[in-house]
Amino acid sequence: MADRQRPAAQADSPCVAVCSTLFDEICRGCGRTAAEVANWVSMSDEEKRVVWVRIRAQGYPRRR
Protein backbone atom coordinates (compact mmCIF):
# COMPACT_ATOMS: atom_id res chain seq x y z
CA MET A 1 0.00 0.00 0.00
CA ALA A 2 1.41 3.35 -0.93
CA ASP A 3 1.68 6.05 1.72
CA ARG A 4 -1.07 8.01 -0.03
CA GLN A 5 -3.46 5.13 0.76
CA ARG A 6 -2.44 4.84 4.41
CA PRO A 7 -4.44 7.04 6.78
CA ALA A 8 -2.32 9.99 7.89
CA ALA A 9 -2.58 9.04 11.56
CA GLN A 10 -1.53 5.43 10.95
CA ALA A 11 2.05 4.66 11.84
CA ASP A 12 4.03 2.12 9.86
CA SER A 13 4.06 -0.24 12.83
CA PRO A 14 1.23 -0.89 15.27
CA CYS A 15 3.75 -1.42 18.08
CA VAL A 16 2.84 0.42 21.29
CA ALA A 17 5.87 -0.81 23.29
CA VAL A 18 3.69 -3.02 25.48
CA CYS A 19 4.88 -6.45 24.41
CA SER A 20 3.22 -9.45 26.00
CA THR A 21 2.36 -12.85 24.56
CA LEU A 22 1.51 -14.64 27.80
CA PHE A 23 -0.75 -17.55 26.94
CA ASP A 24 -0.66 -17.54 23.17
CA GLU A 25 1.24 -16.00 20.28
CA ILE A 26 -0.75 -12.73 20.17
CA CYS A 27 0.80 -9.53 21.51
CA ARG A 28 -1.53 -7.88 24.04
CA GLY A 29 -0.29 -4.42 23.02
CA CYS A 30 -0.58 -4.46 19.23
CA GLY A 31 -2.56 -7.61 18.41
CA ARG A 32 0.00 -9.05 16.01
CA THR A 33 1.21 -12.62 16.13
CA ALA A 34 4.80 -13.27 17.19
CA ALA A 35 5.61 -14.10 13.55
CA GLU A 36 4.08 -10.83 12.32
CA VAL A 37 6.12 -8.86 14.85
CA ALA A 38 9.31 -10.68 13.86
CA ASN A 39 8.72 -10.30 10.11
CA TRP A 40 7.14 -6.81 10.05
CA VAL A 41 10.11 -5.04 8.46
CA SER A 42 10.22 -7.51 5.56
CA MET A 43 6.46 -7.66 4.95
CA SER A 44 5.01 -6.00 1.86
CA ASP A 45 2.72 -3.00 2.21
CA GLU A 46 -0.22 -5.21 1.26
CA GLU A 47 0.65 -7.78 3.95
CA LYS A 48 0.91 -4.97 6.51
CA ARG A 49 -2.44 -3.56 5.37
CA VAL A 50 -4.11 -6.93 5.93
CA VAL A 51 -2.66 -7.08 9.45
CA TRP A 52 -3.77 -3.50 10.19
CA VAL A 53 -7.34 -4.31 9.09
CA ARG A 54 -7.48 -7.44 11.26
CA ILE A 55 -6.01 -5.91 14.41
CA ARG A 56 -8.19 -2.79 14.19
CA ALA A 57 -11.28 -4.99 13.86
CA GLN A 58 -10.14 -6.75 17.04
CA GLY A 59 -9.66 -3.50 18.97
CA TYR A 60 -5.90 -3.15 18.63
CA PRO A 61 -3.47 -1.50 18.96
CA ARG A 62 -4.18 -0.74 22.60
CA ARG A 63 -2.66 2.58 23.49
CA ARG A 64 -2.79 4.15 26.93
User: What tens digit of pLDDT does each residue of 9-29 get?
Assistant: 566 899 998 888 778 899 999
d(CA 15, CA 37): 8
Asked whether residue 63 is assigned to any structural domain, the reply reads no
Q: What is the mean pLDDT of residues 47-59?
A: 96
Number of domains observed in the structure of the chain:
1
Read off φ and ψ for residue 41, nearest 5 degrees.
-65, -20
Asked whether residue 10 is assigned to any structural domain, the reply reads no
- pTM for the whole thing? 0.77
pLDDT at position 54 over 70? yes
Read off φ and ψ for residue 26, nearest 5 degrees.
-105, 125
Question: Which residues span the domain enclosing 48?
Answer: 15-57
Asked whether residue 27 is assigned to any structural domain, the reply reads yes
Residue 15 makes CB contacts below 8 A (sequence gap 6+) with 29, 30, 37, 61
Better pLDDT: 62 or 34: 34
Asked whether residue 4 is assigned to any structural domain, the reply reads no
pLDDT at 64 (0 to 100): 59
Asked whether residue 1 is assigned to any structural domain, the reply reads no
Asked whether residue 22 is assigned to any structural domain, the reply reads yes
